[in-house]
Structure 1
Amino acid sequence: MELWQSLARWADQQPDHLAVLTPGRQLTYGHLKRRSSAIARQLDSLPSTRIGVSTSDPIEMAIAFYAIAASGKTLVVIDPAWPENLAITMASSLHCNYVIASPNSTTLPGISSLTAIPESPADGDYVASAENLSSSRDLLVICTSGSSSRPKPVVRTVGSWEESLSAGSRILGASLDQATLCPSPISHGLGLYAMVESVHSGGTFLATGKWDLNGVRSLLSKSSCTRIVSVPTILTRLLELAKPTTLSNLQVVVSGGEALHQETVQLLHKIAPLARCVEYFGSSEHSLIAYRERKPDQPASPYFEGQLFPGVRAHIHRKDSATGFGLLYIDSPFNAKGYDASSEASVSRCGKSIGIGDRAMLASGSARVVLARRNDEMMNLNGNNIHPGEVSTALESVGLPNAIVQLDESGPEPQMVAYTVSPPRSRSTLISGLGQHLSRYKIPHRITYLRSWPETFSGKLNTAALNDQDLDIERSDWLR
Structure 2
Amino acid sequence: MELWQSLARWADQQPDRLAVLTPGRQLTYGQLKRRSSAIARQLDSLQSTRIGARTSDPIEMAIAFYAIAASGKTLVVIDPAWPENLASTMAASLHCKYMIESPNLTTLPGVSRLMAFPESPADDDYVASAANLSGSRDLLVICTSGSSSRPKPVVRTVGSWEEESLSAGSRILGASLDQATLCPSPISHGLGLYAMVESVHSGGTFLATGKWDLNGMRSLLSQSSCTRIVSVPTILRRVLELAEPTFLSNLLVVVSGGEALHQETVQLLHEIAPMARCVEYFGSSEHSLIAYRERKPDQPASPYFEGQLFPGVRAHIHGKDSATGFGLLYIDSPFNAKGYDASSEASVSRCGKSIGIGDRAMLASGSARVVLARRNDEMMNLNGNNIHPGEVSTALESVGLPNAIVRLDESGPEPQMVAYTVSPPRSRSTLLSSLGQHLSRYKIPHRITYLRSWPETFSGKLNTAALNDQDLDIERSDWLR
TM-score normalised by the shorter chain: which range applies? 0.7 to 0.9
Segments of 4+ in structure 1 off by > 2 A?
119-123, 145-149, 374-480
Write out per-residue CA displacement over residues 166-185 of structure 1, whole angstroms, 9 at most, x where no aligned residue.
00100000000000000000
Assess, with a 3 A threshold, how the Cα gap between structure 1 residues 410 and 204 changes in structure 2: closer, same or farther.
closer
How far apart, in 1, do the equivalents of 2:433 and 2:101 lie? 55
CA separation in 1, counterparts of 2:240 and 2:249? 11
CA distance in 2, matches of 1:97, 1:434: 27
Distance across 1 between alignment mates of 2:414 and 2:274: 50
TM-score if structure 2 supplies the norm length? Answer: 0.80
CA spacing shift, 1:379–1:471, aligned 2, 3 Å: same
Partner of 2:103: 103
**Contact kept in structure 2, 1:348 and 1:354, CA below 8 Å:** yes
Given the superposition, is the C-alpha separation of residues 202 and 401 from structure 1 closer, same or farther in structure 2, using an over 3 Å criterion? Answer: farther
Q: Which moved more, 1:214-223 or 1:396-405?
A: 396-405
Cα distance change, pair 268–408 in 1 and its aligned pair in 2 (3 A) = closer
Cα separation, partners in 2 of 1:443 and 1:362, compared to 1, 3 Å: farther
Residue deviations 1:93-143 (CA, integer Å, cap 9, x gap)? 000001100122211111111011115455312235311111110000000
Q: Are the structure 2 counterparts of residues 415 and 93 from structure 1 closer, same or farther at C-alpha, using a change threshold of 3 Å? A: closer
In the superposition, relative to structure 1, how do residues 402 and 181 fare at CA in structure 2: closer, same or farther (>3 Å)?
farther
Q: 1:297–1:390: structure 2 CA closer, same or farther, 3 Å change rule?
A: farther
Contact 2:139 2:157 (8 Å CA) reproduced? yes
The answer to whether the Cα contact below 8 Å between 1:21 and 1:219 also exists between their aligned partners in 2 is yes
Distance 1:27 1:391, change over 3 A: closer
* 8 Å CA contact 1:35, 1:122 repeated in 2: no
Aligned CA RMSD, in angstroms, stands at 11.7
TM-score (norm: length of structure 1): 0.80
Q: Which moved more, 1:396-405 or 1:126-135?
A: 396-405
Shift of 1:299: 2.3
Whether contact under 8 Å (1:82, 1:458) holds in the other structure is: no
Q: Contact conserved, 2:146 with 2:385, CA < 8 A, in 1? A: no
Q: Output one character per residue of 1:309-365: Cα deviation in whole Å (capped at 9) or x when no partner.
A: 000000000000000000000000000000000000000000000000000000000
2: distance between equivalents of 1:374 and 1:450? 30
Residues 355 and 128 of structure 1: CA distance in aligned 2, closer, same or farther (over 3 Å): same
Instruction: Could you tell me which runs of 5 or more consecutive residues in structure 1 were left unpaired when the two chains were aligned.
Output: none
For the structure 1 residues 238 and 167, does the alpha-carbon distance in structure 2 shift closer, same or farther, using more than 3 Å as the test? Answer: same
Residues 1:45 and 1:189: Cα distance change in structure 2 (over 3 Å): same
Assess, with a 3 A threshold, how the Cα gap between structure 1 residues 258 and 427 changes in structure 2: closer, same or farther.
farther
Q: How many pairs were matched up?
A: 480
Of structures 1 and 2, the one scoring higher in RCO (CA 8 A, sep 6+) is 2
**Per the alignment, do residues 446 and 45 of structure 1 end up closer, same or farther by CA in structure 2, a change over 3 Å counting?**
closer
Q: Do 1:8 and 1:127's aligned partners in 2 also have CA atoms closer than 8 Å? A: no
Identity %, equivalent residues: 94
**For the residues of structure 1 that align with 2:307 and 2:239, how far apart are their CA atoms?**
25
Distance 1:90 1:447, change over 3 A: closer
**Displacement of 1:199 after TM fit?**
0.3
Which region of structure 1 is more displaced relative to structure 2, 456-465 or 35-44?
A: 456-465
CA 1:121/1:293 → structure 2, altered by over 3 Å: closer, same or farther? Answer: farther
Q: How much has 1:419 moved relative to structure 2?
A: 12
Does the residue aligned with 1:238 lie in a helix, a strand or coil? helix
Of residues 160-169 and 417-426 in structure 1, the stretch that sits farther from structure 2 once superposed is: 417-426
Question: Larger deviation: 48-57 or 366-375?
Answer: 366-375
Inter-partner Cα distance in structure 1 for 2:322 and 2:391: 19
C-alpha separation in 2, matches of 1:343 and 1:398: 26
